[in-house]
Amino acid sequence: MRIALLGGTGDVGEGLALRWGYHADHDVVIGSRDPDDAHAAADEYESVLESHGRDRKITGFENAMAADRADVVVLAVPPYHVADTVDAVSDRLDAGDILVTPAAGLQRDEDGFHYHPPSAGSVTALVADAAPEDVPVIGAFHSLAAGRLADLDADLDVDTLLLGDDPDAKGTVAGLAEDIDGLRALDAGGLANAAEVESLTPLLINVAQHNDDLWDLGVRFQ
């Protein structure tokens, strides 16, 4: 499976690239607005994987070129860049490619972090509105702490929730998620259920901030 991580120079992209390189052998393509940044990140991730005994080829391209090369395109960009990023790559997506969105809208105030969705109702809905009609959108990987994901020596032992209206695409992304050791994929229903899933992101930050012995938190449904 060829996976493009748009915004793959950021911390979520790094974590997913390293985990897919380490636990599986997917063809990972790093995308960035600046192709030099994408090349540099790809080289860095290759080095990390090599130091963990994995000889993987990771490539880097400008976002649209990265999307063009992939079957699954992960929007690992901040929520305020999600719509622009989809617009910038839309004509490079083929029918049947899958767009994956892990972003959640957050706002911080003096009390903590709060869920602050865009006017579409959720970041997931924003992506679905911007995506070409023949490209299914799947929400996934919201509740993963980027630092823990990128630390290949750290056990995950957490769940990720999948959102989507296309069962085949959801199954594909569930498979990719479960290729990562310690990550269990659970179905949270259709795209309309996204707000409650995205709300986990600020909640996890708040819980980590208020409990001394917890950090880089994930969640397990049991």
Query: Which residues of the shown chain bind a copy of itself in the complex (CB under 8 A)?
Result: 109, 111-115, 157-158, 161, 186-190, 192-193, 195-197, 199-200, 202-204, 206-207, 209-211, 214, 217-222
The CA distance from 158 to 221, in Å, is: 8
Buried b (16+ CB within 10 A) or exposed e, 127-163: bbebbeeebbbbbbbbbbbbebbbebeeebebbbbbb
Smallest separation, CB 10 to a copy of itself (Å)? 23
CA-to-CA distance for 179 and 172, rounded, in angstroms?
A: 11
Q: C-beta of 191: minimal distance to a copy of itself in Å?
A: 8
DSSP type of residue 75: E
Least separation in angstroms between residue 197's CB and a copy of itself is: 7
Of 46 and 159, nearer to a copy of itself (C-beta) is 159
Shortest Å distance, C-beta 73 to a copy of itself = 24
Nearer to a copy of itself, 41 or 161 (CB): 161
Return the amino acid letter for 79.
P
The helix/strand/coil state of 103 is: coil
CB atoms near residue 37 (< 10 Å): 16
Return the number of the residue (99 or 188) whose C-beta is nearest a copy of itself: 188
When the beta carbons of 36 and 157 are compared against a copy of itself, the nearer one is 157
Alpha-carbon distance 101 to 7, whole Å?
Answer: 12
- Tokens 């029918």 appear where? 95
Which of 96/167 has CB closer to a copy of itself?
A: 167
CB closer to a copy of itself, 47 vs 209: 209
Closest contact distance (angstroms) between CB of 75 and a copy of itself is: 22
Task: Please report, as a single letter, which amino acid is at residue 131.
Answer: A
Q: How far is the CB of 149 from a copy of itself (least distance, A)?
A: 14
